[in-house]
Structure 1
Amino acid sequence: MPAPHYEQQYLDLMHRIWTQGDERVDRTGVGTRSVFGAQLRFDLSDGQMPLLTTKRVYWKTATREFLWFLTGDTNIRALCAQGVEIWTDWPLARYRRETGDMIDRAAFSRAIVDDAAFAARWGDLGPVYGKQWVDWPVYEPVGDGLFRQRARGVNQVADLVHALRTNPGSRRHIVEGWNVAELDTMALPPCHKTYQFHIADGRLSGLLYQRSCDVALGLPFNLWGAALFIRLLAQQCDLEPGELVWMGGDTHLYVNHGDLVEAQLARTPHGSPRLTLARRPDSIFDYAIDDFSVHDYHPQGHLAAPVAV
């Protein structure tokens, strides 16, 4: 009997949440069905990626977001300029709330791109993912019980690459986004918060722990991003890709995503898309969107649902 398609575990998780999940009132007020503690595993050998086929996943958008994280930028301007609107709803909600101007998202995004001052005022998200990944703040004593922040913080990603190369057996290959001192200044505290990596037999595997997971809309992007992280690290460290292990804390579906859930569960996954890297840059921070190509990806139709902000 052939092994189940890699995507089936995702669909099984979706079905379990929808039919057995605990209905909860959540931060957004929309409401969710939720389970606590879930795990998915994906083989990344031979270019395989956990790209869903039962609906179209815009992997280029997810890749642009991941590359943006690696820059440490926290303003949506660079994303909006590329047509990536993943983060726009949070600054837009704040703008509407504080100004009373019910501008539509397209006009808001255009203003962010066209007006640097407007972007500086309204486009910043606070110290979200990328800031923590490559510039975790460090404070040093200056006397009399006072501290000052260093000009540059800890670049966890650069340190990780160095550690993978020089100390492969370490159990400290971790990138952490959950900076408790800065959570209140973030537009959204990190959901995909902790990454850990492991080398065995020349293969690099990664584990992502996600404290909160929107399975319908967020998880397809999170799986791609985590697998992409492993692929880039493996290439930079002369390793082969191993396995992605994904672990979810509060793993949920929003109650207003029913139409998407029912439609997706009625579909059968097929195919095995592969990711090819066109080159090996000098640094993990030097990849560009044109370096990535996906082959043999033939997804079924797009399925949409509202984002809960």
Structure 2
Amino acid sequence: MGSSESKRSERDEISFEEDEEELTDELRVQLTRLVAYAESADVSLQQEVAEKLANEAVKPSRQRQIVDVGGLRLLLPLTQSVDMEVRRLAAHALANLSVNAENQITMAGEGGIDMLVDLLQSEGINAEAVHRQASKALANLGVNAVNKEKVREADGIPPLIYLAKSDNISVSVEAIAALANLAVDDTNEVDIARLGGLEPILDGASSSHLDLQSQSARALRNLSVHPDNKIAIRKLNGVQTLRELVRSTEDDRIRMQASRALSNLETEMDEEMHSHK
């Protein structure tokens, strides 16, 4: 009883000043305490700390600070917790931290990509929430050119394609967003198509869900550069799908991305027509 009350007291003392912009000595102490507390075997304590770090990591001014005081040393092991909620909160914190370009490099260097790929394959109750956050983190990490290759080497593309087929829209949106970013790489572009990624992305483009349409159109733009992919997309009636999306959408950005994908595909069609004359 006394021990439980002591832990509760320690947790209740953890707070941040919302208007603090600089990394003061007090803030460093608070963040360092969070990291230390989360190394506890107490699952409820791990949950609380991971949630606090996830909330703090939304703030741009905190994103690098958390990493500087050892936040990754805490969060990355928590992705392997037996508790699904701890995994989700850790993945959520990593997704927020990975918005920062410097953190993208640090996270990859400390093994974060492999751990996030493992999270994509989590099983059990509430696993979809873990899948969503892990996909979001990989989408952010995949903005970095070197990380695109590292995700491929960690075999991250197949589970992302699998999740792109999810009936849970929030999961498929994040998985396709990750694939769209990874596709800005010649090898990844071919691999995504070869491994079956075009079908769920084209299905997403035909969806009535705005976010799914948006990420799918962006992915198709990036996947329609390689000649082999152009052929594959056309065989899957991708030109018709994209034309319908351009015609039906009221969103300017979706229309632009779909139009650019069409332009990529139609350039290849024009070249084929000329070669057959």
Which protein, 1 or 2, shows the higher relative CO under an 8 Å CA cutoff with sep ≥ 6? 1
- Give the TM-score of the pair, scaled to structure 2: 0.25
- Give the TM-score of the pair, scaled to structure 1: 0.24
| Structure with more of its chain in strand, by fraction | 1
Q: Compare CA radii of gyration and give the structure with the larger one.
A: 2
